[in-house]
Structure 1
């Protein structure tokens, strides 16, 4: 089973939509709040070049930022 981590920030519309889509598809994931984990933001910028939330990281090497229902659909199966 894949480990999926979603990095989010408060009041982020795309974050909320990402959570909703993952839940709708029954995909389990871990949430990391960028306002609680201060080291996560710099790590995402350095490792992936992302500066906006949400960031979805899959342990198989896939990652993306923003609400991407097409990418979420690719996690099923």
Structure 2
């Protein structure tokens, strides 16, 4: 993991940035059922993720709403070009396949 500050990167929460292929899940807190379901399925599929509560992090909220254009949580971000909103099993399956391929390549030396 790399570190940074929230002022430097709006996707940062608590000074931590996800790994290169890390997944960030932007939520609205523990009362968000779709957020909880998304996190549960990510965990069941073995997908590492960092949660950022956009109610507590104004920079993250601006990133999700203004930069990405989403108005509902959760927002799952893999890269600035690969993201989605709401509970999306199809998106989670695709991420799991992608991460599995990355891990497989790493175990075979590239």
| TM-score, with length taken from structure 2 | 0.65
Structure 2 segments unaligned to the other structure (5+ residues): 1-19, 101-110
Instruction: For 1:42 and 1:61, locate their aligned partners in 2 and report how far apart those are by CA, in whole Å.
Output: 17
Partner of 2:81: 61
What are the ranges of 5 or more consecutive residues in structure 1 without an aligned counterpart?
Answer: none
The equivalent of 1:24 in structure 2 is: 44
Tell me the CA shift for residue 69 of structure 1. 0.7
* Structure showing greater Rg: 2
Q: Residue 7 of structure 1 corresponds to which residue in structure 2?
A: 26
Q: CA RMSD in A?
A: 1.4
* 1:61 positional shift: 2.3
> 1:38 aligned to 2:55?
no
Cα distance in 2 for residues equivalent to 1:21 and 1:60:
22
TM-score under structure 1 normalisation?
Answer: 0.90
Distance in 2 between the 1:9 and 1:44 partners?
Answer: 11
Matched residue pairs, number? 77
The 1-side partners of 2:64 and 2:95 are apart by: 21
